[in-house]
Amino acid sequence: MNLKEYERVLEELEDLREEARSTPILVEGRRDVQALERLGVSAEFFCACNGRPLYEVCEEISSAHRRVILLLDLDSAGIAIARKVKHFLSQMGVQVVERHRFTLLRKLDTHQVEHLATRVERVKRELFRW
Identify whether the C-beta of residue 119 lies closer than 8 Å to the C-beta of residue 108.
yes
Question: What is residue 129's predicted lDDT score, i.e. its pLDDT?
Answer: 80
**DSSP reduced 3-state for 52:** coil
Cα dihedral 101→76→114→119 (10° resolution): -70
- Whether 83 and 72 have beta carbons less than 8 Å apart is answered as no
Residue 96 pLDDT: 97
Say how many C-beta atoms besides its own lie within 10 A of residue 40's C-beta: 12
66-93: per-residue pLDDT in tens? 999 999 999 999 999 999 999 999 999 9
2-39 pLDDT, tens digit per residue, is: 899 999 999 999 999 999 999 999 999 999 999 999 99
Verdict on whether the full-model pTM lies above 0.85: yes
Mean pLDDT within 106-122: 94
Fold of 3-124: Dna Topoisomerase Vi A Subunit; Chain: A, domain 2 (3.40.1360)
Residue 102: how many other CB atoms lie within 10 Å: 11
What average pLDDT score do residues 113-126 get?
Answer: 94
Residue 127 has pLDDT above 80, yes or no: yes
Confidence (pLDDT) at 130: 67
Domain ranges across the chain: 3-124
Cα–Cα distance measured from residue 24 to residue 45, given in angstroms and rounded to the nearest whole number = 6
Residue 1, pLDDT score: 86
Give the pLDDT of residue 50.
86
Rounded mean pLDDT of 44-49? Answer: 95
CB atoms within 10 A of CB 75: 14
Question: Cα(52)–Cα(68) distance, rounded to whole angstroms?
Answer: 18
